[in-house]
Amino acid sequence: MSPALRVGGLLPLTTLDYPGQLACVLFCQGCAWRCRYCHNPGLICARGEQETPWAEVLAFLQRRQGLLEAVVFSGGEATLQAGLPAAMQQVRALGFKVGLHSAGIKPAALKRVLPLCDWVGFDVKALEEDTALITGVADSGRANWQSLELLLASGVDYECRTSVHWQLSDCRRLQRLAERLAGIGVQHFVVQQVRSQSMLDAGLGPSLCPPAAAALWPYLEQLFPRFSLRSA
């Protein structure tokens, strides 16, 4: 029997985290990367200070049957937990759609759960060669991009998104990233400007969008069938 999923937080209702669905979000505990702009640093440790027992999560979901449409497994990095496939199966058996937020930290772990997902919000950190500057982990770029290719090959509905902190990126890099994504067939790309209020790296200052970005957004719009820009 797989270990119970470790859930560090629960958002009972959202319309933003799974497009078009009334969903709740389970913030799964633990992550192997250390993105400087991470706005959920309390979820990085494998064990959280305030975990919700899985039995309580299931009881909550049973009370929401017929009211919520989907459950999103977010993080941290949910795919690192051995208990994720069983948890997804239980959620699906209750009649909910299954959403996943992932950066594909371990491609094999993402591949294992893709057949259980209805939708994935996939975080592409940066160009493969630049990813370690964001995550602090060597070879993270290879894992991130291998996982993206697995997702695209799976046929599972998705949104591919990149969080931008303007001290860690610039318009030229973002344009090259977008062109590479379009080149491998990404159909739906979202740029999210990082929330700078609570970040793992307290030394990272506010993220100030450069004036040149105004010319970049129309270019990205014509590069993808679906493109959107989200503010912090």
Q: Which two tokens stand for residue 183?
A: 């080149």
Binding residues for ligand SF4 restricted to 58-77, rule: CB under 6 A: 75-77
Q: Which is nearer to ligand SF4, 35 or 68 (CB)?
A: 35
Residue 182 C-beta: closest distance to ligand SF4, Å? 23
Binding residues for ligand SF4 restricted to 14-53, rule: CB under 6 A: 31, 33-35, 38, 40, 44
Q: Which is nearer to ligand SF4, 64 or 142 (CB)?
A: 142
Q: Which is nearer to ligand SF4, 21 or 79 (CB)?
A: 79
Q: Beginning with the edge strand found earlier in the chain, give each strand of the sheet holding 70-74 in spatial order.
A: 7-14, 23-28, 70-74, 97-102, 119-123, 157-164, 188-193, 226-230
Residue 160 C-beta: closest distance to ligand SF4, Å? 15
In sequence order, the 6+-apart residues with CB closer than 8 A to the CB of 66 are: none
Binding residues for ligand SF4 restricted to 145-204, rule: CB under 6 A: none
Question: Are the beta carbons of 98 and 5 closer than 8 angstroms?
Answer: no
Residue 59 C-beta: closest distance to ligand SF4, Å? 26
CB atoms within 10 A of CB 46: 13
* Centroid of chain to Cα 130: 18
How many residues bind ligand SF4 (CB under 6 A)? The answer is: 11
Phi, psi (degrees; rounded to nearest 5) at 223: -80, -30
Rounded to the nearest 10 degrees, the angle between the axes of helix 171-183 and helix 213-223 is 0
Q: Which two tokens stand for residue 197?
A: 């209020």
Q: Which is nearer to ligand SF4, 106 or 188 (CB)?
A: 106
Q: Which is nearer to ligand SF4, 77 or 128 (CB)?
A: 77
Residue 44 C-beta: closest distance to ligand SF4, Å? 6
Residue 34 C-beta: closest distance to ligand SF4, Å? 5
| Cα dist from 86 to 13, 83, 163, 193, 217, whole Å | 23, 6, 30, 34, 40
* Centroid of chain to Cα 32: 14
Binding mask 103-142 for ligand SF4 (x = CB under 6 A): x---------------------------------------
Q: Which is nearer to ligand SF4, 36 or 70 (CB)?
A: 36
Q: Which chain residues interact with ligand SF4 by CB under 6 A?
A: 31, 33-35, 38, 40, 44, 75-77, 103
